[in-house]
Amino acid sequence: MSETSHRTAPAAAGIPRRSVLTAAAAGGALGGSALLTGCSGAASASPSRAVPTRGPTGRPDRGGTLRIARPPASDAETLDPASALSAYEYLGALYNRLVRIGPDGAVAPDLAESWEPDPTARTWTFRLRRGVTFHDGRAFTSADAAYTLRHILDSTTASPQAPVLAPLVDPGRLRTPDAHTLVVPLKSPHAEFPSLLTHYNCYVVPEGSARSIGRTGIGTGPFRLASFTAAGPGRVTAYPDHWAGRPVLDAIDFFSVADMQARSNALLAGQVDLLSQTNLDFATARVIAASDRATIARAENAQWYVLPMLTTEKPFTDVRVRQAMKLAYDPAHVLKVALQGAGTPGWDNPVPPNDPHHHAAHPAHDPEKARHLLKKAGHERLAVDLYTSSYDPIFTPMALAYQESAARAGIRIRVRTAAADSYYTQIWMKKPLMATYWYTGRPVDQLLNQVFRSGSSYNETAWSDKEFDALLDRARRETDGRRRDELYGQAQTLVVERGGAITPMFADRLVGISRTVRGYAEHGFEFDYLGIGLKGA
């Protein structure tokens, strides 16, 4: 699995006739029978009915409880945000980061009001907000910010973000000259360093809380913990002293529901208000949008889908074959077939089009050039297996659409279906060609280094290119913003022209919500917990 906490549960298309919602609220079962007997009139909706491009608009009422259905989790799930097993849906409610990703894709203030590097981008100084308190009443200070970084970097924490920060940050050199200033000396210059702290493992925790934070959830966020059960139900309530103001809602109830179909049925029955971390297939989204109780909100380009070619396995050891595999297919065709157009063509560049560093140039779809490259590589006709599964409802439609498109270049794709429950242990990073996806929201430096740099544990194509690695190093040292953008653009070009990742498309995440929900806005891994609410609750 390419990340321990970024996957949704296995999902199949459509909604079943009968499904049981097994989750119980903190303090009691959901009201009414959980046994659903179909979708009533919604199922007969016209198949051509469009899925909305946005959720309900307008201002929410103050108060009320939002009910969120989330995918099942491990029994070892924890509220420690640095952990690989963090209860993701709780994090944005309970905690804040030093910095976050803003709606425009740029780094924005959170607990840090401002930050600046020295002239070489080797030392960064963060000026922290005053008047911020944790849920237990303690004042937030620079000591907590420094402790958070040390906690992430501590080997016993085993944080997924540690490999990103450890090459740059020596925890012993962090300085706190006063209660509202954090100084981070780096091992090497990095002009984009603050962007690495926007990750969801970087929420700030109180100093000395490593042993307890997984249970207490004490943070500075807009909600505080009322109850939590690993892999089960939980509840958070509004924190009235939040530094940015009291949240709109009074509380949020979380339910862990076994599969996408059960979660969708619960939404249609009015038992929950929001399906968290569930990317609905288009058929299910159309059914939900046609119902009286629920509708769809979209998170644009929230996921990128990819067909990784293992560059250490034949025939993909030959860059000409990799280039041919990319030129052979039409991303617009794959987008249309697999996503019904609900996304953006990827053109084999994993940096999303709404990222400020996105580089738009790419080679055109060219089956004839693909044939020519294959012939030069010694392949009159190429036949390869492409592995997929029901783990994600988009995998197989994407694979079949690629198969159809690439056939025009003489490439025979044999689509192989593997078991969903062992897909990320037996197939991912083991088979030469397979389907997978990632969530967008990573800053460009982390994305390119974490997924494509030589030797990275998340480099799912095992691609190694010294020129690419050197470009990333130069970009990190470059303090001129325009020149740094050019270097990231050159790095993206190398990914497209030499790398092993076929990236057909970015997918809008289709989010099921109640028609009473207002203020749903998602970016940078999470929605706005402070402003979301209900109308007429």
Sorted by where each starts, the structural domains of the chain and their CATH numbers stand as: 93-214 (3.90.76.10), 302-508 (3.10.105.10)
Mean pLDDT of the 146-159 span: 97
pLDDT score, position 225: 98
Looking at residue 250, its pLDDT comes to 98
Tell me the whole-structure pTM to 2 decimals.
Answer: 0.83
- In the predicted structure, residue 45 carries a pLDDT above the cut 70: no
How far apart are the C-alpha atoms of 308 and 305, rounded to whole Å?
10
Residue 85 pLDDT = 93
C-alpha–C-alpha distance, residues 505 and 333, integer Å: 10
105 vs 138, which has greater pLDDT?
Answer: 138
Higher pLDDT, 364 or 123: 123
Higher pLDDT, residue 357 or 42: 357
In order of 49, 125, 298, 449, the CA distances from 261 in angstroms are 20, 48, 19, 36
Residue 158 has pLDDT above 50, yes or no: yes
How many CB atoms neighbour CB 446 within 10 A? 18
Segment 394-420 shows an average pLDDT of: 95
Q: CA 56 to CA 188: how far, in whole Å?
A: 47
**Using an 8 Å Cβ cutoff, are 262 and 20 in contact?**
yes
Token readout for 465 is 């290119």
Contact 186, 177 (CB under 8 A): no
Q: Check whether 21 has a pLDDT greater than 70.
A: no
> By mean pLDDT, which of 3-17, 231-245, 263-277, 416-430 is the weakest?
3-17
User: CA-to-CA distance for 319 and 435, rounded, in angstroms?
Assistant: 20
- Number of Cβ within 10 Å of residue 479's Cβ equals 13
pLDDT tops 60 at residue 378: yes
C-alpha torsion sign, points 90, 513, 44, 18: positive
For 33, phi then psi, to 5°, come to -70, 140
Whole-number average pLDDT of the chain: 88
Higher pLDDT, 271 or 361: 271
- % of the chain beyond a pLDDT of 70: 90
d(CA 416, CA 158): 34
CA nearest to 23, candidates 65, 79, 70, 77: 70
- Residue reference for tokens 């099921």: 512
Least-confidence region, from 24-33, 67-76, 155-164, 449-458: 24-33
With cut-offs at 50, 70 and 90, classify the pLDDT of residue 525.
Answer: low
Residue 303 gets which letter from DSSP? Answer: E
pLDDT the model gives residue 185: 98
Looking at residue 133, its pLDDT comes to: 98
